[in-house]
Chain A
Amino acid sequence: MKLLHTELLIARHFKNSVFKNQAIYIITFFIGALLLFAAFSGWDNYKSQNETSEKYQHESREDWLKNPDKNPHRMAHYGNFAFRKSTSLSVFEFGMEPFFGNAIFLEAHKQNTANFSEAGFSNSMLRFGEISIAMVLQVLLPLLIFFVGFNSVAYERENGTLKILLSQGISWKQLLFGKVLGIASVVMLLFIPTIIVLVLIWLTLQNFSISADETIKMLLFIGFHFIYLMFFCVAAVLISASSKTSKKALVSLIGIWLIFTIILPRTTQAIGAYLYEAPSKIQFNSDIEKDILKQGDSHNPNDVHYKAIKDSLLRAYKVDSVQKLPFNYSGFIMTEGEKISSNIYNKHLEELLKIYARQNSFSKAVSFFNPYIAMKNLSMGLSNTDYDSYIDFQKQAEKYRYGMAQKMNALQVKYISNKKPGPNDKPLTIGREHWADLEEFHYEPKGVWEVLKTEIVSVISILLWVILLFVLIRIAAKNLKAI
């Protein structure tokens, strides 16, 4: 401890001087209140979203099982739902969640969009952002740090006390580290209680039974936010130390904050969206339809592709009509149709996702220059509210849908007679016990290692920023002048 004695002294002195200003109490109180509001509404949101989706997921499963004996193809049309559940960290970081749909209807032959996003049901207000703990930590606290720290060194220079300090044998390095510690100690008064509340909420939400994966995510969430805030403390001191007057320091710091948190995130995303235009839904769907027509349309009685299948089947089984085949012919055709159409759909979806990925590439790249974007991406990733989670959910749902449709087709091929019932006969059915063969849809959010893999750019970027700041402090310590 002896080592850091001077630094701690400077830090304590700085902290005391900050708290001499009445305004700091008001701001602290206000941010505290905002954090509480964020925690409360996040909790409320999370609980009701998960309760509803769990309730309806359960209900839709019961409905599925309750169906009486019927033709499996009708069950394929009855369909299933995929509801999205949130992870517990999404209480603190809403991310893109308001823009995702909450439910996808899964049926045979058709890939539906995820519907009922919060954004679709909201007035333009949503675009101003949302109050979440992550937003307070990532946007407001850095600004508070700048407000607290802008005159940390510049004021001493204006006052002439800087010369006295340096002439008393304190080195620049000690002074800078001391000031950083001072600001950090002020910010920690907000950060530490927040983290305690956060962990408590998080534990309560999971009834104190936490998985290793969730724990690592939580620890990383806290750790990276800590590093992120420290980054702004150092930046404030460095800018303050290199500015002639405190006014100049303030203006530069505010400028940096604006560029990092408001201007750059929007601009980079806008550049991406402008350069790589994504197709509209109508275009997307009609492209798919055209491709399906090219490959073969099972609804067209004269389609070449299906005629060829029919002929080869008749030849192989040495029969003269499909009714004489030993299995259900239309079930067989539908299996083929589902395979073709979902292959084509997936191909087009891949292309669309590639366009989206290109659109996002700009802001991803900018995270190297902007710790805010890096932090935002990382915290969205850890709470599974990022772009990749959204795509992941859609893909899992589509996989389930395909499995469901093909399972029903297989049941039809196997159990439904080939003889078409007459116009007045009862339709052919199979027993209801088969419905339970299809497992319930369950969405598994991505684990922490996968998140870190996709967010590797952000992690590297944050680490690089830390290194850069240390280097900058060293350089500054050598080159700064007292006047």
Chain B
Amino acid sequence: MLVLLFKNFIRSKGTKIGLLFLLIIGFISLLIGRQFQEKQQNSITEAAVYQKEHIARNAAFHKDEIGLLLYYIKFSLVNNTLPINSLAIGQRDVNPSIQNVTIRGLEGQKYDSELNNPSNLLSGNIDFSFVLLYLFPLLIIAFSYNIISEEKESGTWKIVATQSPNTFLYILKLFYIRILSLTTLLTLILLAAVLFLQIPVDKSFLVFYGLSVLYILFWFAVCFFIVSLQKNSNFNAVILLTIWLFLIIILPAGINTYIINRYKVPEALELTLTQRNAYHEKWDMDKQETLDKFYNHYPQFKNYPLPDKEFSWLWYYAMQQMGDDESAVQSKELETKLQQRNRASELIAQFIPTLHTQIQLNEIAKSDLRNQLLFLKETTKFHEKLRLHFYPKIFDNAPVNEQKWEDFKVETFTDNSETSFMKAFLPLLLFNLLLIGFGWRNFNRKVII
């Protein structure tokens, strides 16, 4: 019986075209992911080469003044890109995965954006997460909206009903076939991804896979519930597409608009203005005052007194430091706002399966806002480390050629936050159980004629 049903399902022209279409676009998404991965890798390799050349060249030009040299040279910090990132590019295309900073004021450099074509950003990537989130449900709907209703409309249902001992079991079998074919398709694409993109099969990948399966099951559960209402095909199609529209476009877009308006960030602009003024005004102020503030921040440098010259690097970097110190309030506020945005969206997403899946996939791929915030934090630490390393050398005017410049390699930040099965699976599991439960009740209540 199952084999026959499967043959019947797969023989239909629409089914074949649908599955083939999804398979092809799935592979295209892997290609796009691969291109993204290569671009990231290239940038990282380039960053390493560039940094080496850049430091060597500048160290040769400015061999007498280490203070002047450090005015120019940049150091790079890389946000580690996992291979799985090519399946869910997330925010990694908007935010740069490499930060280049000099030891001057940080706040003016921290938020430098990546070069981007805004048209690409607007339309979004066709990465695997897009295929999974947008297109799989469409095919699931196309495959399931007319279960029973079509047979009823064409008059064959009576024959099925009289010949099958348990019509409910028959419906389950119809679903079973469809679920099986789509999960096979999903597995095929992800297997190809593992080979093609060299994704390690570890816990992250398993959560990724599990989440994808649960997401597909969610849409089948939705279809199961709608089919259980036993309306006609047109009604089912319209209602399922409306649900799709809601979950994929209207609700996420509405929530996004809400969150952006709820947590506005004028701090971003205020921050840059404050930082600029706090540094520049020091040129025209009493030098000792600037230095006293600097000593307050770093008591360990108290033993470097203000040189009796019009210009000194000690004073210069103290001024730069004040740019950061005096805009610290705004910087903190901006960070808090962004944290709030992230928390709010994660909280709301738990109740919207599509949104939850997207955010979780990005979290696993380390391409979400949380990762970006951690990277910004790490940039601050990296910058501070460089400052503390070089400040004494500048204040002593240490000879440039005595520094081991080749030791300053590009550093990498690895986001070690764990992915949790519970957090990823629970909301989807609950939704699935709920929908299947209600659907089952509907079928039990009403005889399927």
Residues of A within 8 A of B (CB): 34, 37, 41, 44-45, 48, 52-53, 56, 59-60, 63, 67-68, 70, 74, 77-79, 81, 83, 95-96, 98-103, 105, 112-131, 135, 139-140, 143, 147, 150-151, 246-247, 250-251, 254, 258, 262, 265-267, 269-270, 272-274, 277-284, 286, 289, 299-301, 352, 355-356, 359-360, 363, 387, 390, 421, 423-427
Contacts and interface: CB of A to CB of B under 8 A. Distances in A.
13 contacts: A45-B261, A78-B280, A95-B122, A96-B121, A98-B260, A117-B94, A124-B369, A128-B358, A131-B250, A147-B238, A277-B39, A282-B46, A359-B117
A20 B130 CA distance: 39
A270 B126 contact: yes
B310 A421 contact: yes
Contacts of B283: 70, 74
Interface in B331-359: 338, 341-342, 345-346, 349, 354-355, 358-359
Nearest to B94: A119
B118 A123 contact: no
Q: Which of B39, B252, B265 has the most CB of A within 10 A?
A: B252
A81 to B, nearest CB: 7
Given A120-B94, A128-B249, A387-B119, A63 B273 contact: yes
- What DSSP secondary structure best describes chain A's contact surface? helix
B256 A125 contact: yes
Interface in B38-52: 39, 42-43, 46-47, 50
B117 A125 contact: no
B3 interface: no
User: Which bucket holds chain B's interface residue count?
Assistant: 35 or more
Q: Which of A83, A128, A250, A272 has the most CB of B within 10 A?
A: A128
A93 B101 CA distance: 37
B253 A131 contact: yes
B432 interface: no
Interface in B72-129: 72, 76, 90-91, 94-96, 98, 100, 108, 111-126
A256 to B, nearest CB: 13
B248 interface: yes
Given A67-B280, A280-B46, A281-B96, 10 more contacts: A103-B268, A103-B272, A116-B265, A123-B342, A129-B249, A139-B249, A143-B245, A269-B119, A424-B309, A427-B310
A247 B258 CA distance: 37
A125 B345 contact: yes
B326 to A, nearest CB: 14
Contact of A286 (B46, B233, B349): B46
Contacts of A37: 254, 257
Contact of B269 (A41, A83, A95, A254): A83
Given A56-B269, A99-B121, A427-B310, A247 B233 contact: yes
Contacts of B330: none
Contact of B358 (A124, A135, A279): A124
B349 to A, nearest CB: 8
B355 A125 contact: yes
Contact of B256 (A53, A130, A269, A273): A130
Closest 10 interchain pairs by CB? A128-B252, A269-B123, A125-B256, A280-B43, A356-B117, A99-B121, A96-B118, A116-B268, A123-B345, A99-B118
Contacts of A101: 113
B265 A121 contact: yes
Contacts, number: 250
Contact of A262 (B95, B134, B269, B309): B134
B255 interface: yes
A280 B345 CA distance: 30
B354 to A, nearest CB: 8
B173 interface: no
Q: Which of B28, B61, B94, B345 has the most CB of A within 10 A?
A: B94
A129 B248 CA distance: 9
A278 B50 CA distance: 18
A455 B126 CA distance: 26
Contacts of B153: 247
B327 interface: no
Q: Which of A52, A122, A140 has the most CB of B within 10 A?
A: A122
B174 interface: no
Contacts of B325: none
A440 to B, nearest CB: 15
Contacts of A70: 283-284
A52 B269 contact: yes
B125 A270 contact: yes
B95 A120 contact: yes
Given A100-B118, A114-B113, A129-B249, A423 B310 contact: yes
Contacts of B31: 274
B46 A283 contact: yes
Contacts of A279: 115
Contacts of A114: 113
Contacts of A127: 124, 358
Interface string B261-273: 1001110111011
Contact of A283 (B43, B96, B248): B43
A67 B114 CA distance: 32
Contacts of A426: 310
Q: Which of A118, A273, A286 has the most CB of B within 10 A?
A: A273
B417 interface: no
B213 interface: no
B277 interface: yes
A244 B7 CA distance: 27
Given A251-B237, A279-B115, A360-B117, A81 B257 contact: no
A251 B241 CA distance: 11
A270 B234 CA distance: 33
Interface in B275-314: 276-277, 280, 283-284, 308-311
A128 B119 contact: no
